[in-house]
A = this chain, B = another copy of it.
């Protein structure tokens, strides 16, 4: 009789142990993936720093045409990143609810007409980059880009920039596979089901002994609070990493920084060098 009761006790324990272990494994795996995605998305954020440096060094001319070419090239690059960010960040979407709002800051109306004249079911963020490519080829023919190798350098940096935009597009398009989401959901619910059952079959026994129960309540509540909030946070991160949470990227701030330094680098700083003088260690 006594032996049997121990046995059943352990058996229950064992089932609970399995469930808990499984839950933690799946949880860990999921959190790990979510974090990897989060960092991957951050490092995929398209920054124009390389591009502006090669535009500044390889598209020449201090006259208006030269400035126009350099500024327009950088504007296309920034426009492309705004177009992709509009589709994945709620903050950027709020700032640019329609393409008209983008026109105000990054586009001419003629460009908008060109943009809308082509129909595609998918995001057309790559179009300004194709304009960049064509304008660079034009600049080469005008002799503003002095040689083929400089043009190649522009195209290489353009491709690097495009690759990052493209990666963002895919991170947005392909979420973590549905099957994992389902497995996690089942695991979470089954875990809480066990907790509820665990509480329930404690209740009658608490009735027998009638003491000490109150002491465990806060512990349990603490745990639950921890799981629920942690879970919700992670869920938000996965569903919308470019959302409006405090931890999210300051996407709009970055957009402003990018267009600002782009213009500084290719216009104000173009061939604006301090005189080259002997440094302090010159012998």
Residue ranges of A at the interface with B (Cβ–Cβ < 8 Å): 1-22, 24-25, 28-29, 31-33, 35, 38, 42-43, 47, 49-50, 52-54, 56-58, 60, 67-69, 71-72, 75, 104-105, 108, 110-111, 113-114, 118, 120-122, 126-127, 129-131, 133-138, 146-153, 155, 157-159, 162-163, 166, 170, 174, 177-180, 182-183, 186-187, 190, 193-194, 197-198, 201-202, 205, 208-209, 212, 215-216, 219-220, 222-223, 226, 230, 233-234, 237, 246-247, 249, 257, 259-261, 263-265, 268-282
**Does A263 lie within 8 Å of B281, measured CB to CB?**
yes
CB distance from A55 to the nearest CB of B (A): 10
- Min CB distance A133 to B, Å, is 4
CB of B155 within 8 A of CB of A54, answer yes
| Contact flag A153-B153 (CB < 8 Å), given A11-B198, A15-B220, A209-B5 | no
Contact A269 B127 (CB under 8 A): yes
Chain B residues with Cβ below 8 Å from A29 are: 28, 31-32
Checking B35, B43, B149 against A148 with a beta-carbon cut-off of 8 angstroms, the contacting residue is B149
Please indicate the chain B residues that have their CB under 8 angstroms from the CB of A234 in the complex.
Answer: 179
Question: Which 8 pairs across A and B sit closest by C-beta, in order of nearness?
Answer: A57-B133, A110-B274, A148-B149, A111-B274, A179-B233, A178-B247, A147-B148, A177-B247
Residue of B35, B50, B72 near A163 (CB, 8 A) is B50
Contact A53 B180 (CB under 8 A): no
Residue from the list B4, B69, B170 in contact with A205, Cβ < 8 A: B4
Contact assessment for A57 and B155 in the assembled complex, using a CB-CB cutoff below 8 Å: yes
Residues on the B chain within 8 Å of A50, using CB: 159, 162-163
Residue of B nearest to A226 (CB): B186
Contact of A130 with B265 in the complex, beta carbons under 8 Å: yes
Interchain CA distance A146-B282 in the complex, whole Å: 25
Given A110-B274, A136-B57, A148-B150, do A21 and B19 touch, yes or no (CB 8 Å)? Answer: no
Complex: A170 Cα to B75 Cα, angstroms: 23
